[in-house]
Amino acid sequence: MTRYIMTADLRRCIGCQTCTASCRQTNATPPGVQWRSVLDIESGEFPDVRRSFVPVGCQHCGDPPCMHVCPTTATYQRADGLVEIDYEKCIGCGYCAVACPYQARHITRRIDFAYSATPMANESARFDERRMSVATKCTFCMDRVDAAKENGLTPGVDPEVTPACVNSCIAGVLAFGDKEDPNSKVSKLLEETQHFRMHEELGTDPGFYYIWDKK
């Protein structure tokens, strides 16, 4: 059984937001909507202070509250663990957005472009009317993952079938792959390091692992 997950090595992240930019470019999200964000968290007290950069977004939970509450079955979970949205079914009620403890879901109710009411060429090319007034979120670049089956490639190994944010990360923070495959990069990383998952106490079984130290 496949379970695609993502890992973020917080020891490496420098908060450059390249993953954010890459996601926005790839998925053409409107202004204000970032499926992949990087938090800048300051902690501690002078002189022992820390700054942590934490990539966040949909955690593709194993037990996704967004899916359970969705009244239309628009939000569903695939056999490979990806939590996706059928834009044709979604009614934009926002229930999934208030059920998600990761603030990962967005509903855009009006057409908006980066610089004006007139879209730039790339925005025109990528505008998807189906995503208006419905819930949207990170898909783990589902189309790329699906292309892996057709091309005989491996998500997380071959860039063509790996999420854009992972490909773009300049510091090697993000990794993607099948947690059930012991030879995958993510399995090895989890084996070698100490890690946690965000808000794990809520029982959502998130598919996003944060590495914070070696074992």
* Residues of the shown chain interacting with other proteins in the complex, contacts defined by CB under 8 A: 10-11, 34, 37-41, 43-44, 48, 50-52, 54, 56, 65, 67-74, 89-95, 97-103, 107, 109, 132-134, 196, 198-200, 202, 204, 210-213
Residues 6+ apart with CB under 8 A from 61: 83, 204, 205, 206, 207
Q: Do 134 and 92 contact (CB within 8 A), yes or no?
A: yes
- For other proteins, the closer of residues 10 and 166 by Cβ is 10
Q: Report CA-CA distances (Å) from 3 to 48, 61, 183.
A: 39, 10, 13
Tell me the closest approach of the beta carbon of residue 92 to other proteins, in angstroms. 2
Residues 6+ apart with CB under 8 A from 126: 28
Eight-state DSSP code of residue 29: P
Residue found by looking up tokens 């979970």 in the block: 77
90: helix, strand or coil: coil
Residue found by looking up tokens 């420098």 in the block: 14
Residue 39, both tokens: 């938090």
Measured in degrees and rounded to the nearest 5, phi and psi for residue 56 equal -135, 170
- For other proteins, the closer of residues 49 and 125 by Cβ is 49
Tell me the closest approach of the beta carbon of residue 73 to other proteins, in angstroms. 5
- For other proteins, the closer of residues 103 and 124 by Cβ is 103
H or E element that contains 147: helix 142-151
- For other proteins, the closer of residues 37 and 154 by Cβ is 37
Tell me the closest approach of the beta carbon of residue 44 to other proteins, in angstroms. 6
Tell me the closest approach of the beta carbon of residue 5 to other proteins, in angstroms. 18
Tell me the closest approach of the beta carbon of residue 159 to other proteins, in angstroms. 26
149: helix, strand or coil: helix
- For other proteins, the closer of residues 79 and 109 by Cβ is 109
- For other proteins, the closer of residues 99 and 153 by Cβ is 99
**23: closest CA among 139, 180, 148?**
139
Tell me the closest approach of the beta carbon of residue 40 to other proteins, in angstroms. 8
